[in-house]
Amino acid sequence: MITLENFNLICWIWIGIGVVTFPILLKVKQPYGRHTRKNWGAMINNKLGWFLMELPALLVFLFFVSKTENWFNFMLIIAVSLWSLHYVHRAVIFPFRLKTKGKKMPVIIMLSAVFFNTVNGFINGYWLAKFIPEDNILFSNDLRMVIGATVFVIGFIINQYHDQILLGLRKGKDTGYQIPNGGMFKILSCPNYFGEIISWLGFFIVTLSLPALAFFIWTLVNLVPRALDHHRWYQSEFPDYPSKRKAIFPFLL
């Protein structure tokens, strides 16, 4: 068994890697979706790649959580439910909703995502199984967890709603890119990413754990540069792109 001290060290190292990675991702455009380039090596079917890279987050997390001896802990029940809600959809449902027939992604991107999801699944699942606080029946704690779960669900709904708008742009034989409209697309280029950030903020509020904080930081590290890339791409591809839209945070960025 890993001691709490060593486990926390692992989490801090993981956070440090994220902090170092952030400025790199701001400069290096990640080759996925509209930004895919063939000079990144071997390629894999886009849907299969999504499935394979998201599945470890679900399986690894549930494997370590299953080692718990405290299944009736309120925090554990909420955390496992929220994590499963996100990753069952992300790994099992979302890839097969994609209308990207014939599109591929670099294998190296898929493998880096497999590593990322494996680490996050491990640190969060292990913490919930081994280091979760005893289930104290305190109104303040329970209220905090309910608020966190509510924030998570709000973020999940924002993410799903705007993903559906994006999927709806590709109807019939139309596989090209268009300017998305509706909902928070009025003010953001990537409200789906904004929703995902809100979700993992909610997850952190539920657990107040170091691994959940690490995951929230990594969500920012991954999605903020990606949103900025998308925003610049829209501006370059569509001369009439709404000038008042921000990339990912309303009225800020």
Q: What is the pLDDT of residue 72?
A: 83
Q: What is the pLDDT of residue 61?
A: 97
Task: For residue 175, name the pLDDT band (cuts at 50, 70, 90).
Answer: low
CA dist 162 → 1, 167, 168, 229 (Å)? 42, 9, 10, 18
**pLDDT tens-digit readout, 67-76:** 888 888 889 9
Residues above pLDDT 70, as percent of the chain: 89
Q: What is the pLDDT of residue 107?
A: 87
Enter the pTM of the model: 0.89
**pLDDT tens-digit readout, 145-163:** 999 999 999 999 999 999 8
**pLDDT tens-digit readout, 121-140:** 999 999 999 998 876 656 66
Indicate whether 102 pLDDT > 70. no
**pLDDT tens-digit readout, 49-71:** 888 899 999 999 999 999 888 88
- Pairwise CA distance, residues 168 & 173, whole Å: 12
**pLDDT tens-digit readout, 34-54:** 655 666 678 888 888 888 899
Indicate whether 214 pLDDT > 80. yes
Phi, psi of 44 (to 5 degrees): -135, 150
